[in-house]
Chains A and B, each alone.
Chain A
Amino acid sequence: MTQTPVLEQPPASAAAEASASRRGPHPPVKRAVGVLALGLAGAALPPLLFDNTWNATFSLALIYALMGLSVVVLTGFVGQLSLMPATFVGLGAFTSGRFVTSLATPFWGAVPLAAAIVVPFALLIGMIALRLKGLYLAIMTLVFANVVETFLFKQEWYVGRERVVEAPRPHLGSVSFASDKNYYLLVYGVVALALLLLHNLSRSRTARACYAVRDNEDAAQAWGINVAKYKLLAFATSGLLAGLAGALFGHWLGSVSAGGQRSAFGLEFSLTIVFFTIVGGVRSIWGPVLGGTIWIVLVQRLLAGSPNGQNIAFSIFGVVVLLTMLYRPAGLVAWIADARRALSRGPAAGTAESA
């Protein structure tokens, strides 16, 4: 056994597709209407039904999901583990804040610019990663994250003397996104678009090439798949997503601080992102949505009364990640897929017998 798949998981998709075809072909129009209705409900319901505080929680959960998606693209799609997602998030947050406050760039330009600026950094890491075997990437990103955290995030020209960068929320004409309800709508739009694009991407030819690289790099190479191209593509996408999430996160916070003793964009934050993504399911784009929501609701809501909520949550997630790795590496989304399959199989099995 020279090459082991990095995360062993049963190929669940084949069974799922089989059961889907048993239900008969889905009329594409009906399906599109369903997705659209769900999407609109997700946009409309939280601001209508919940107060501002809850909307802030929801938008933070979506921003975290976006951070987790950067892990999904890199770890779930091509099997590369980076321990610096929070570093890229920090880069996005500071850069966008600086664009708005120091260069008077409008939010709508600053956020994409900040996300774009992270891409070359991610590509640089990716180019080094091409030459590394397996776990060396994790070590290198661990060291690089520490370096950026103790060097760049302390530079006065970048984060200012107080190490705090203001990041105000935007407005579009007369519409202000300062309130948590309106900012939720904005974040929701961005994250929904990202999810839609990634959903399509995850079924494309490109993604299948990525999965081949992940499962067996040598075999993929032998098949003529350009391993370097797909790895770099994943690094760039991952950096873009993390930078975008960071920019949105910065403006969610209002002011971005590099943190004191507890570094704001250090290893702990990176671990948090990796943890909730794995708990949710690192190979599915819905994994971080699920995991991120659970994490945020846990920290921001259930444990909000305790000054140590984050520490408790961190320990709990440590245990849950261990259990996930030991018993169900595919994460929570796999349980949901199981449940859906069981539900759809129940009546289907009955009709098959009667026929």
Chain B
Amino acid sequence: MGLADVTLAATFTARLFFQDVLNGISLGAVFALLGLGVVLIYKSSGVLNFAHGSMAMFSTYVYFEITRTFTGIPVPVATLMAVAFGALLGAGSYYVVFRRMQDAGLLAKVIASLAVAGMLQGTAAFIWRNVTQARVPAQFGEGSTRLANVSLSHQELGTILITLLAGIALIQVLRRTTFGIALRATAQNRTAAKMLGVREQRVAATSWAIGGGLAALAGVLVIPLAVLTVYSMLGYMVRGFVAAVVGGFVSLPAALLGGFSLGAAQEALKATPAEQLSSVFAGLVIAFLLLGRVERFFALDQELRALQELG
């Protein structure tokens, strides 16, 4: 094998590598969007929302139904409608189920969220039983942009930008607005926050609505690149949880960072000889995060402890 061949092979793998990393970042954006919602919901109400992926899936089916039935509605409007539906779903499940479980144990809340997930999965599978492998329209068209020797579709680019915007906006909201301060106060010391006049239920319901909306956003952004089935959001949700674990379910910036890096790293593995590792990567990462207690680098000790006591 001549030197030229080696260089060629090297550039080829390098190109593949950067292409995979880029795709991974857009995939990671979806993990991050889901992770942000999971963190927000956990901070406000102490519920580990295992129904998050199902909420995203259900809202995406609603988006599919809107774009299929009412062809006159422009895609951006349909997207907003789906996000609004996700927000309603989130707030609704808080009011119907989790508001009543504020003082229930940790495990009881988790099981309740699993039950909500089961309900949504079963209902969606029943309503859309005749729809197999639905395709939904992309928000940013089918085109793609070439950057040096790698290319990124507009949809992926849009997903990355929207996620960054949403993440930064959310972090700022938590930092500066009254709602954000109330939410952080609740997460740090529930009793004290209540005594200072924080309306716990309103804060929690708002967080659930934002979380549900973000889940819907994640679904409608990623599914145009894949096919929609009742199970298609599951893998994303699992990795969204991994992103949330990075910040110990407390830190939003850590969830954002975690989502992006998990996506990039997982896809980058596909271009390496350790390709097989790509699908087990999330498992290795979660074991490392949990055993290494990585969350302590991102979250205040006080917040972590307060949340553990909440459960």
* Residues of A in contact with B (beta carbons under 8 Å apart): 1-2, 4-8, 75, 79, 81, 83, 128, 131-136, 138-140, 142-144, 146-147, 150-151, 261-263, 266-268, 271, 274-275, 278, 307-308, 311-319, 321-322, 325-326, 329
- The reply to whether A322 and B105 contact each other, CB–CB distance below 8 Å, is no
In the complex, which of the residues A5, A79, A150, A308 contacts B279, with contact meaning CB atoms closer than 8 Å?
A: A150
| B76 interface hit (Cβ, 8 Å) | no
The minimal Cβ–Cβ distance linking A146 to chain B, given in whole angstroms, is 5
| Known interface pairs A138-B110, A261-B231, A315-B123; A146-B238 also in contact (CB < 8 Å) | yes
Instruction: Tell me which residues across on chain B come within 8 A of A7, comparing CB atoms.
Output: 105, 107-108
Residue with the highest number of chain B CB atoms closer than 10 Å, among A83, A132, A267, A319? A267
| Known interface pairs A134-B308, A261-B231, A268-B121; A308-B280 also in contact (CB < 8 Å) | no
| Known interface pairs A136-B290, A146-B238, A325-B101; A274-B279 also in contact (CB < 8 Å) | no
Q: How far is the CA of A4 from the CA of B309 in the complex (A)?
A: 9
- The reply to whether B311 and A4 contact each other, CB–CB distance below 8 Å, is yes
Stretch at the interface among B26-34, B84-92, B111-119, B161-169: B111-119
Q: How far is the CA of A314 from the CA of B311 in the complex (A)?
A: 27
The minimal Cβ–Cβ distance linking B261 to chain A, given in whole angstroms, is 16
- The reply to whether A6 and B115 contact each other, CB–CB distance below 8 Å, is no
Instruction: Tell me which residues across on chain A come within 8 A of B279, comparing CB atoms.
Output: 147, 150-151
The minimal Cβ–Cβ distance linking A102 to chain B, given in whole angstroms, is 22
Stretch at the interface among B4-12, B65-73, B281-289: B281-289
Chain B contact residues: helix, strand, loop or mixed = helix
- The reply to whether A147 and B116 contact each other, CB–CB distance below 8 Å, is no
A-B contacts, 29 of them at CB < 8 A, read A75-B107, A128-B290, A134-B308, A135-B48, A136-B245, A139-B286, A140-B287, A144-B283, A144-B286, A150-B235, A261-B133, A261-B229, A266-B234, A274-B111, A308-B125, A311-B121, A311-B123, A313-B122, A314-B119, A314-B121, A314-B122, A315-B123, A317-B122, A318-B115, A318-B116, A321-B114, A321-B115, A322-B97, A322-B112
- The reply to whether B114 and A274 contact each other, CB–CB distance below 8 Å, is yes
| Known interface pairs A81-B110, A146-B235, A329-B108; A314-B125 also in contact (CB < 8 Å) | yes
- The reply to whether A6 and B108 contact each other, CB–CB distance below 8 Å, is yes
Instruction: Tell me which residues across on chain B come within 8 A of A151, comparing CB atoms.
Output: 276, 279-280
Instruction: Tell me which residues across on chain B come within 8 A of A325, comparing CB atoms.
Output: 101, 104, 108, 111-112, 115
Q: How far is the CA of A203 from the CA of B110 in the complex (A)?
A: 28
Instruction: Tell me which residues across on chain A come within 8 A of B176, comparing CB atoms.
Output: none
Q: How far is the CA of A210 from the CA of B106 in the complex (A)?
A: 18
Q: How far is the CA of A144 from the CA of B100 in the complex (A)?
A: 31
* Residues of B in contact with A (beta carbons under 8 Å apart): 48, 50, 97, 100-101, 104-108, 110-112, 114-123, 125-126, 129, 133, 229, 231, 234-235, 238, 241-242, 245, 276, 279-280, 282-283, 286-287, 290-291, 308-309, 311
Closest 6 CB pairs of A and B: A318-B119, A315-B122, A314-B122, A318-B118, A6-B107, A147-B283
- The reply to whether B282 and A147 contact each other, CB–CB distance below 8 Å, is yes
In the complex, which of the residues A140, A150, A312 contacts B122, with contact meaning CB atoms closer than 8 Å?
A: A312
Instruction: Tell me which residues across on chain B come within 8 A of A144, comparing CB atoms.
Output: 283, 286
Instruction: Tell me which residues across on chain A come within 8 A of B105, comparing CB atoms.
Output: 4-8
Residue with the highest number of chain B CB atoms closer than 10 Å, among A138, A142, A143? A143
The minimal Cβ–Cβ distance linking A284 to chain B, given in whole angstroms, is 16
* CB contacts between A and B, total, < 8 Å: 154
Q: How far is the CA of A114 from the CA of B282 in the complex (A)?
A: 27
| Known interface pairs A134-B311, A325-B111, A329-B108; A311-B129 also in contact (CB < 8 Å) | yes
- The reply to whether B280 and A317 contact each other, CB–CB distance below 8 Å, is no
A314's nearest neighbour on chain B, judged by CB, is B122
The minimal Cβ–Cβ distance linking A108 to chain B, given in whole angstroms, is 34
Q: How far is the CA of A268 from the CA of B234 in the complex (A)?
A: 10
- The reply to whether B234 and A317 contact each other, CB–CB distance below 8 Å, is no
Taking A6-B106, A311-B122, A322-B119 as known contacts, 19 extra A-B pairs with beta carbons closer than 8 A to each other, sorted by chain A number, are A6-B107, A7-B105, A79-B107, A81-B110, A81-B111, A131-B291, A136-B245, A136-B290, A138-B48, A142-B50, A143-B282, A147-B280, A278-B111, A313-B122, A314-B119, A318-B117, A321-B112, A322-B97, A325-B112
| Known interface pairs A151-B280, A311-B126; A317-B118 also in contact (CB < 8 Å) | yes
- The reply to whether B129 and A146 contact each other, CB–CB distance below 8 Å, is no
The minimal Cβ–Cβ distance linking B75 to chain A, given in whole angstroms, is 26
Instruction: Tell me which residues across on chain B come within 8 A of A308, comparing CB atoms.
Output: 125-126, 129
Instruction: Tell me which residues across on chain B come within 8 A of A316, comparing CB atoms.
Output: 122
A319's nearest neighbour on chain B, judged by CB, is B119
- The reply to whether A275 and B118 contact each other, CB–CB distance below 8 Å, is yes
Instruction: Tell me which residues across on chain A come within 8 A of B282, comparing CB atoms.
Output: 143, 146-147
B132's nearest neighbour on chain A, judged by CB, is A261
Instruction: Tell me which residues across on chain B come within 8 A of A313, comparing CB atoms.
Output: 122
A275's nearest neighbour on chain B, judged by CB, is B118
In the complex, which of the residues A8, A139, A262 contacts B245, with contact meaning CB atoms closer than 8 Å?
A: A139
The minimal Cβ–Cβ distance linking A252 to chain B, given in whole angstroms, is 24
Q: How far is the CA of A2 from the CA of B106 in the complex (A)?
A: 12
Instruction: Tell me which residues across on chain A come within 8 A of B116, comparing CB atoms.
Output: 318, 322
The minimal Cβ–Cβ distance linking A75 to chain B, given in whole angstroms, is 7
- The reply to whether B125 and A132 contact each other, CB–CB distance below 8 Å, is no
A326's nearest neighbour on chain B, judged by CB, is B100
Instruction: Tell me which residues across on chain B come within 8 A of A5, comparing CB atoms.
Output: 105
Instruction: Tell me which residues across on chain A come within 8 A of B308, comparing CB atoms.
Output: 133-134
The minimal Cβ–Cβ distance linking B55 to chain A, given in whole angstroms, is 13
